[in-house]
Structure 1
């Protein structure tokens, strides 16, 4: 019988299942932490990922996907065809990982996590068939966040490679990008990057709307907030026809002197 996965972290258990799976994987009723860890493990996975069907509580999915870092990487996995998200109404008591040859129940005991494994053929077959059926009846979860690969590629093309490098460096320095006090949101990050590279508000907001980050109106409102707080400045740039456009510039010396690894921390401290 397959050994239980005891005294492991959730990322170790997920990595073990992904490495050993020969067919589709059903990830059933994952916790908030398990969804985050799955996206991280799958994003960094070295090799061919199996196709993962995630059946999760809708509220939990929405809460987790409010983090742009998690959501944009999940969107990458979806665009690659290695992840699908659907919602489950009647969830089992534990979180399950179901493959065609084993079932792993994720059990939390205080700060410990264990994966209780069975490879009993009859039980595995029945469980697998059950969740294939649940999957077919489940509603698709609509993730509106764009894939991070698209975000980076288009930012490099439409603004500049330096802007893309700055954007990536800021994301890499953050644990979360929610804009709720625990991290900057994606619109704020985009505007800070645009100001650092002295891009036009029109260009960064058009890019953001086209790629699916947020509307031009959201970019405009956030620009006004950042400008009122002194994080960014604007200067008018005349154009041949129509009203002048606004060039974004860093407005606070603390931001101007910060490198990319510090920019998010400094901006967050000013905003708070």
Structure 2
């Protein structure tokens, strides 16, 4: 049986994109957190038709990976497109593997990055695929509660306007992960800051957030109070015909020029 090393000068995401482009199905076995993140980001950004992706991972890897709203919402999109399935297992103690129809790639950490060793031996590939198909069948489905990123974008534009959607995505894309270190900014905080910059009503925003599955109205309310205590938000009462006045969200201070400045201010406060 022969193996071939992936060119170490080739980025691992490029290696995965090449693998995805040549396969009908890919079984990802026991990925580390770094491997899972790279695989999901590569799949989300893949321009051509994706193969069917099956990820069999430990519960800790999937839980930790999907604590990041950006990654979780991208994963949710792939699941929603019926391209990706996630299952958990605690019985696999092997290297991270990518198993397609005609090759097996073992992931190898190299100088702080990732590389791989591939084998295209038909008998070996069939043996590995058969063994891990059994593990896949015995795995437990992983439940993801984060809404798909596309649904968040579409509903922001529909419920409010394209400027609100653009501001939300601009701030989201300026962050490497959400929440960041020490949970500095999460998706609810970002939504509230963007809403305040656009002077939306708290009621409308929290209803949207609950309907789309981002967070409960109570979570929006608690986060709004924390941002007020930090001097980042203010509110003003807006009378309505029946019932208690609604609260309009206002950015404080009000002299910030763009959403990037809002993110910096929120992080520094």
TM-score normalized by the length of structure 1 = 0.94
Instruction: Tell me how many residue pairs correspond in the alignment.
Output: 267
Q: Which residue of 2 aligns with 1:196?
A: 197
2:3, 2:117 within 8 Å by CA — same for their partners in 1? no
Q: CA RMSD of the aligned region, Å? A: 1.5
2:194, 2:259 within 8 Å by CA — same for their partners in 1? no
Q: What are the superposed Cα offsets for residues 82-129 of structure 1, whole Å, 9 maximum, x if unpaired?
A: 111111212242100001111100011442432111111111111111
Gaps of 5+ in 2: none
Runs of 4+ in 1 over 3 A off after TM superposition: none
209-218 or 36-45, larger mean C-alpha shift: 36-45
Q: Which residue of 2 aligns with 1:122?
A: 123
Matched, 1:67 2:65: no
Matched, 1:25 2:26: yes
Does the residue aligned with 2:164 lie in a helix, a strand or coil? helix
Gaps of 5+ in 1: none
Q: What are the superposed Cα offsets for residues 137-160 of structure 1, whole Å, 9 maximum, x if unpaired?
A: 110110100000000111111122
Distance 1:159 1:194 in 2: 10
Counterpart among 8, 11, 16 of residue 14 in structure 1: 16
> Deviation at 1:180?
4.5
Distance 1:113 1:65 in 2: 21
Q: Which residue of 2 aligns with 1:101?
A: 102
Q: Which residue of 2 aligns with 1:168?
A: 169
Q: Which residue of 1 aligns with 2:159?
A: 158
Does the residue aligned with 2:221 lie in a helix, a strand or coil? helix
Distance 2:69 2:230 in 1: 23
1:176, 1:182 within 8 Å by CA — same for their partners in 2? no
